[in-house]
Structure 1
Amino acid sequence: MLRSHLIDYSSIQHEPAYTAKTLLAATGIEADILAKTVVLHVDGVSALAVMTASAKIRWDKLCRVMGTDFIELADESEFAEQFPGCELGAIPPFGTLFGMTVYLDQSLAAQSEIAFSAGTHDEIIRMSMQDYKRLAKPIILDAGFIRSAHIPTDDAPPLAQTG
């Protein structure tokens, strides 16, 4: 997809990593640009939330900013078939590929670059945020996410479940 849109990006191959801490150690990516993608159900409709790897969802504020009473984190067993060619927990942040809306955390949107899983646990894509926004067409949210002071430990749930 990136090549067909003439997007300048870099691909970083690394040892398999399943948590933010091990991914940061394996790649040397800056924590402020490393994105995690989680699947949400917003009033029963699947959507992607994209935030920095150290962020957590603040459910009450996310519901308020999205104007809904019901948002829940999808279980991996519910969406495994929705992302063909992607490993569980390694979903790239492009909802257009999967027919989903993308919600992007303002603090990540403010960065000049974004780095994210290429659909596997051993490859990261790094590209400009401007190009990412142009392709993904995310809805940028200024509330609903909080940044942790630290990256989760190795015993934290995989990236796709953290939130």
Structure 2
Amino acid sequence: MSDISSRNIHQHLLDILTTEQARFRVMEHEAIGKCEAVSDIRGTDLGQGAKALVCKVKGNDVKQHVLAILAADQQADLSRLASHLGGLKASLASPAEVDALTACVFGAIPPFSFHPSLKLVADPLLFERFDEIAFNAGLLEKSIVMDTQDYLRIAQPELVAFRREPAAE
């Protein structure tokens, strides 16, 4: 994806989806930070939600910012993410880094990278269970529900399994 050309990420996203003829709909709702609550408002399953985490991967001469996308009903295993990308550890980025790399506040980040220094990766489970994914669209009070295959075609994330696996019993 291209560099951030405007700090209006919502409109930038709509422009791209429209140009690419994606199947999507925009929903307006209260600005709610909890994945479960916004899923209820959207009328979507929690597992359809695309949770976006801005991370830093370091070590082994790796220093990379990553936009890591996973299903909202899953938890990230940041050590798996770091390992896959050749690093030793990963951590969440600071609010200032998130703003600089996404032009969005926490909770409003769409699963698209518009910054050349922000690598986009996504856990494949998000795309295996539902025909549509849902996400906040650059604003806490607006969501997009879109066709899963259109998302994969347009965003082209690197697919990386980094969700936390359940503990063996």
CA RMSD of aligned residues (A): 1.8
Q: What percentage of residue pairs aligned between the two structures are identical?
A: 27
User: Does residue 1:89 correspond to 2:107, yes or no?
Assistant: yes
Equivalent position of 2:124 in the other structure: 106
| Structure 2: distance between partners of 1:138 and 1:58 | 18
Structure 1 residue 147: deviation in Å? 7.0
What is the deviation of 1:71? Answer: 1.6
Q: Kindly state the Cα deviation for residue 55 of structure 1 after the two structures are TM-superposed.
A: 1.5
8 Å contact kept, 1:17–1:26: no
Counterpart CA distance in 2 for 1:59 and 1:7 is 31
Q: Is the 2:56–2:93 Cα contact (8 Å) retained in structure 1?
A: yes
Q: Using the alignment, how far apart are the partners of 1:103 and 1:57 within structure 2?
A: 12
Unmatched segments (≥5 aa) in structure 1:
149-163
- SS of 1:11's equivalent in the other structure is strand
Aligned to 2:96: 77
Structure 1 counterpart SS, 2:108: coil
Segments of 4+ in structure 1 off by > 4 A?
Answer: none
Report the count of equivalent residues.
145
User: Deviation per CA, 1:78-98, whole angstroms, max 9, x where unpaired?
Assistant: 2213323x3432111111x22
Q: Name the structure 2 match of 1:152.
A: none
Q: Which amino acid aligns with 1:25?
A: D
Bigger CA radius of gyration: 2
Q: What's the TM-score once normalised by structure 1's chain length?
A: 0.80
Q: Go from structure 1 to structure 2 and tell me whether the alpha carbon gap of 1:67 and 1:89 turns closer, same or farther (over 3 Å shift).
A: same
- Equivalent residue of 2:48, what SS? coil
TM-score scaled by length of structure 2: 0.77
Aligned twin of 2:164: 146
Structure 1 position 134, deviation (Å)? 0.9
1:133 to 152, 158, 164: 152
Q: Which residue of 1 aligns with 2:6?
A: none
